[in-house]
């Protein structure tokens, strides 16, 4: 009997979703100024905007929520939370925050900006990471391997950092200007691509050589661990948890959004092995987040994360998770739709520059494509490209992020149908122009409009 991968859970509670017709979606999109972030969620049929905080929690998580100890300081829930985090990550200090970007803000506020010209290397910074680095006056530098910048190229670990480039950067700017190095696992902005254990070790060795701390952006650590298990020699017999434990042993700390591989709807944390840094970080935490044993979270949230972190490492779940994402990517790629290959762990990324070669980057091809997917079938996705990253964007991608344990295969089959319908009339899609942008993280609140037909025709010529 062949091994058929099925959902390793049963559905116990359901939530209705509402269909709209195209004329309604046209009106809704205009009202949202062609920014899918500004759409009411009730007007979205299949929401693939993000996998952050949008997953379905398990019966064990809901049961743990009822155990939540809401004491302001020293609650039982914090003890369970810390124990679960340390079991996987192994770091001495565990500082809860309300979500990952709060951990980033605290980390970079403490570690960066004390010297003019600080530089923070990463394989690829995600949007809030880059913004928090730049907000304190440091420079965010992306050093992903060359293969990671070529969407159609297949490579098992396209999230790897270019170790030679890291060494060269440190030599160029000087060790004193590099307060820390980060590795994002999996590499979200680069197509949800994993980082190999070999690369983790090599980056760690460079950091140790220069006495620079190595931090992980660990949002999707479980997915990265599973990719190592199935793709990297010597790890096939290890559990995802054992792989995660080894991976974090090569670092000095991490930031984490528990809204991803923490399987929770809210929460995050910051970890470090450095006593002095931990005290400085807790001081800043108290100023803006809360006391160090709750960090802006309710006790019930700490309980949900403590359980969710362990569930994210269950092998049957990870096998299903990776296979279901690949199902979407492989089906549209088989019909010619250009995607980042191979499909990532949490999302499929459509290469908008290849999908719409007639729309230049400064006309936001990924925004235009994401709008078309909504107009065609009520699907909400997100642009990861020129709108999000400006001149730093190396690619223009449409990310279809799959919420954990939420949608069934029939939902994904519908997504495939919608994408293929848009693919058939891709030549008719025109670019967009900005009418409003904020100074930071502009993609969340930007306002756009389709460029006039005569402008689009001139661009094509």
Distance CA 18, CA 252 (A): 46
Report d(CA 141, CA 127) in Å as an integer: 13
Alpha-carbon distance values, 109 to 135, 255, 281, 282, 386 (Å): 9, 13, 9, 12, 26
- Token readout for 151 is 């969407």
Tokens describing residue 206: 């460079």
CA distance 446 to 441: 9
Task: Judge contact between 268 and 255, C-beta under 8 A.
Answer: yes
pLDDT for position 114? 72
Domains of the chain and CATH, by start: 22-51+314-460 (3.90.1150.10), 59-311 (3.40.640.10)
pLDDT score of 457:
56
pLDDT tens per residue across all 461 residues of the chain: 457 888 899 999 999 999 999 999 999 999 999 999 999 999 999 999 999 999 999 999 999 999 999 999 999 999 999 999 999 999 999 999 999 999 999 999 999 977 778 999 999 998 889 999 999 999 999 999 999 999 999 999 999 999 999 999 999 999 999 999 999 999 988 889 999 999 999 999 999 999 999 999 999 999 999 999 999 999 999 999 999 999 999 999 999 999 999 999 999 999 999 999 999 999 999 999 999 999 999 999 999 999 999 999 999 999 999 999 999 999 999 999 999 999 999 999 999 999 999 999 999 999 999 999 999 999 999 999 999 988 888 889 999 999 999 999 999 999 999 999 999 999 999 999 999 988 888 999 999 999 876 555 555 55
The predicted model scores a pTM of 0.93
**What pLDDT is attached to residue 460?**
55
Evaluate whether 432 touches 365 at the Cβ level (below 8 Å). no
Q: Which of 227, 260, 265 is nearest to 345 (CA)?
A: 227
- Helix (H) or strand (E) run with residue 139 in it: strand 139-142
- Whether omega for the bond prior to residue 342 falls within 30 degrees of 0, making it cis, is yes
DSSP code per residue over 372-400: HHHHHH-EE-EEESHHHHGGG-S--EEEE
Task: Tell me if 269 sits within 8 A of 97, measured CB to CB.
Answer: yes
Residue with tokens 């293929």: 420
10: tokens are: 């049963």
């Amino acid at each position: 009997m062949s091994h058929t991968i099925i959902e390793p859970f049963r559905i116990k509670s359901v939530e209705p979703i509402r269909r709209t017709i195209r004329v309604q979606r046209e009106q809704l999109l205009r009202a949202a100024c062609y920014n899918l972030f500004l759409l009411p969620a009730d007007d979205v049929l299949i929401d693939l905007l993000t996998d952050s905080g949008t997953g379905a929690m398990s019966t064990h998580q809901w049961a743990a929520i009822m155990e939540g100890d809401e004491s302001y300081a020293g609650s039982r829930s914090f003890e369970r939370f810390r124990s679960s985090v340390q079991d996987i990550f192994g770091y001495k200090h565990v500082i809860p925050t309300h979500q990952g970007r709060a951990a980033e803000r605290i980390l970079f506020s403490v570690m960066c900006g004390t010297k003019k010209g600080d530089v923070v290397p990463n394989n690829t910074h995600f949007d809030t990471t880059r913004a928090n680095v730049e907000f304190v006056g440091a420079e965010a530098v992306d050093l992903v391997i060359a293969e990671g910048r070529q969407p159609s190229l297949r490579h098992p670990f396209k999230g790897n950092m270019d170790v030679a480039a890291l060494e060269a950067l440190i030599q160029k700017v000087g060790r004193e200007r590099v307060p820390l190095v980060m590795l994002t696992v999996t590499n979200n902005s680069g197509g949800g691509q994993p980082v190999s254990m070999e690369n983790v070790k090599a980056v760690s060795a460079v950091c140790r050589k220069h006495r620079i701390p190595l931090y992980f952006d660990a949002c999707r650590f479980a997915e990265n661990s599973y990719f190592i298990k199935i793709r990297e020699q010597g790890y096939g017999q290890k559990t995802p948890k054992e792989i995660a434990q080894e991976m974090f042993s090569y670092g000095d700390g991490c930031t984490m959004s528990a809204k991803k591989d923490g399987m929770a709807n809210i929460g995050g944390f910051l970890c470090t092995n450095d006593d002095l840094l931990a005290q400085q970080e807790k001081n800043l935490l108290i100023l803006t987040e809360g006391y160090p044993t709750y960090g802006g979270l309710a006790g019930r949230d700490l309980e949900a994360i403590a359980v969710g972190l362990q569930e994210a490492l269950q092998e049957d779940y990870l096998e299903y998770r990776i296979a279901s994402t690949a199902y979407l990517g492989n089906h549209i790629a088989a019909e010619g739709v250009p995607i980042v290959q191979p499909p990532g762990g949490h999302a499929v990324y459509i290469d908008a520059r290849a999908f719409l070669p007639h729309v230049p980057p400064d006309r936001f091809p990924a925004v235009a494509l994401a709008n078309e997917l909504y107009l065609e079938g009520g699907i909400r996705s997100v642009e990861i490209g020129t709108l999000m990253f400006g001149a730093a964007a190396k690619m223009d991608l449409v990310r279809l992020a799959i919420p954990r344990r939420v949608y069934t295969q029939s939902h994904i089959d519908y997504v495939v149908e919608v994408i293929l319908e848009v693919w058939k009339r891709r030549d008719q899609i025109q670019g967009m122009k900005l009418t409003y942008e904020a100074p930071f993280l502009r993609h969340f609140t930007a306002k756009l409009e389709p460029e006039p037909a005569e402008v689009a025709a001139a661009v094509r010529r």
